[in-house]
Amino acid sequence: MTIATLRICLLGTFRVTYGCQTCADDLHTLTTARLQALLGYLLLHRAAPQAREHLAFLFWPDTREAQALTNLRNLLHKLRQALPAPAHFLLVDTHTVQWRPDAPYTLDVADFEEAVVQATTGPELACAIDLYQGELLPSCYDDWILPERERLRQLALDTLDRLITLLETQRDYRAAIRYSQRLLQLEPLNEALYRRLMRLYAASDDRAGALHIYQQCVAMLEEEFAAEPTPATQELYQRLQCAVPTPPAQTRHVAAKPPLIGRAREWQALLDNWYRASSGQAHSLLLTGEAGIGKTRLAEELVTWVGRQGFGAVTAHCYAAEGALAYAPVVAWLRSAFVQPRLATLDPIWLTEVARLLPELLRAHP
Q: What is the mean pLDDT of the chain?
A: 89
Region 247-253: what's the mean pLDDT? 46
DSSP H helices in 187-230: 191-203, 207-225
pLDDT of residue 150: 97
Quick one: pLDDT at residue 48? 94
Q: Which residue has the higher pLDDT, 178 or 262?
A: 178
Q: Measured between alpha carbons, how far is residue 119 from residues 124, 127, 150, 160, 175 in Å?
A: 5, 9, 21, 12, 17
Q: What is the pLDDT of residue 2?
A: 67
Residue 237 has pLDDT above 80, yes or no: yes
Q: Point out the least confidently predicted range of 25-34, 95-104, 317-326.
A: 25-34
DSSP strand pairing (6-9 vs 25-26): unpaired
Give residue 156's region: left, alpha or beta (phi > 0; psi -120 to 50): alpha
Mean pLDDT calculated for residue range 229-253: 74
> Average pLDDT, stretch 336-360?
89
Q: What is the pLDDT of residue 344?
A: 84
pLDDT band (50, 70, 90) for residue 342: confident
pLDDT given for residue 263 in this prediction: 82
Least trusted range by pLDDT, from 16-25, 108-117, 148-157, 171-180: 16-25
Residue 105 has what pLDDT?
93
> In the structure, what pLDDT confidence band is assigned to residue 84 with cuts at 50, 70 and 90?
confident
Answer with the residue of higher pLDDT: 114 or 271: 114
The beta strands (E) that lie in the chain are given as 6-9, 15-18, 25-26, 50-51, 90-92, 96-99, 105-107
Q: For the chain, percent helix, then strand, then coil, each to nearest 5?
A: 55, 5, 35
Could you give the CA distance from residue 161 to residue 186 in angstroms, rounded to a whole number? 12
- Percent of the chain past pLDDT 70, that is, above it, reads 92
**How many alpha carbons lie under 13 Å from residue 199 in its C-beta half-sphere?**
20
| Residue 6 β-bridge partners | 18, 105
Query: What's the mean pLDDT in 315-340?
Result: 85
How many Cα atoms are found within 13 Å in the side-chain-facing hemisphere of 135? 13
Band the pLDDT of 221: cuts 50, 70, 90.
Answer: very high
